[in-house]
Amino acid sequence: MPAQQFPVSEVVAAQRPSRKDAARNYDALLAAAREAFAEHGSEASLEDVARRAGVGIGTLYRNFPTRRALFESVYADDVNALCRSAVDFAGLQPWQALTAWLERFTGYMVTKRAVREALEGESEIFQACRDSMYAAGGPLFERAQQAGVARTDMDFGDLLRLVAGVTGTTFVDDAQRDRVLAIALDGVRAGR
């Protein structure tokens, strides 16, 4: 499958600095923020993010002038990675491609919860991210349906809500989450 451009990828590309050292700092800040949000949710400290990235707070604010800008950038970057993974998985067998992408989707949900909480769902970037996810994952689901391995009495929106509902709860550990998700996906498989 050829490289595909998704709406959110343009947002991500426009925000990333072009100078190599600045781009490294930007990437380090995104990775540190993602980690901090996963651990502490929307209450993660910006000072902690800068410390984890190995940069000063001034560098953080040069790249992300507001807390909201940092949350939106992490969210957009995660969606962009999720969309790129759909292209990577497209060569797999239909069911395997779909479930591999949904596993990535569950990891993305951790960041999404923290960002949604922080932005209270009011961000222009959410629509671009939603459009990108549907453009990336929707064809994997349609391909699985056409191959007869996924139910045809549901749509991609139903599938995402199912997975979001399953992953939106608290689990003892990742193994329990993965087990519950596998049980839910058994209900999506055709002929089960």
pLDDT tens figures, 156-170: 999 999 998 888 788
Q: Residue 3 — very low, low, confident or very high, per pLDDT cuts 50/70/90?
A: very low
pLDDT recorded at residue 192 = 62
Distance CA 188, CA 149 (A): 9
Domain 8-186 of CATH type 3.40.50.1000 = no
- Whether 140 has a pLDDT exceeding 90, the answer reads yes
For 104-126, the pLDDT digits (tens) are 888 777 667 666 666 665 667 77
For 75-101, the pLDDT digits (tens) are 888 888 899 899 999 999 999 999 999
Task: Kindly state the average pLDDT of the residues 120-145.
Answer: 84
- Whether 153 has a pLDDT exceeding 80, the answer reads yes
Q: Number of C-alpha atoms within 13 angstroms, CB side, residue 117?
A: 14
pLDDT recorded at residue 67 = 87
Q: Residue 23 — very low, low, confident or very high, per pLDDT cuts 50/70/90?
A: confident
What percent of the chain is predicted at pLDDT more than 70?
83
Q: Where are the domains of the chain?
A: 8-186
100 Cα distance to chain centroid: 13
Eight-state DSSP code of residue 5: -
38 Cα distance to chain centroid: 12
DSSP labels for 25-93?
A: HHHHHHHHHHHHHHHHGGG--HHHHHHHHTS-HHHHHHH-SSHHHHHHHHHHHHHHHHHHHHHHHTTS-
Task: Kindly state the average pLDDT of the residues 45-49.
Answer: 94
Q: Residue 1 — very low, low, confident or very high, per pLDDT cuts 50/70/90?
A: very low
> What is the amino acid identity at position 186?
D
pLDDT recorded at residue 62 = 92
Q: What is this structure's pTM? A: 0.77
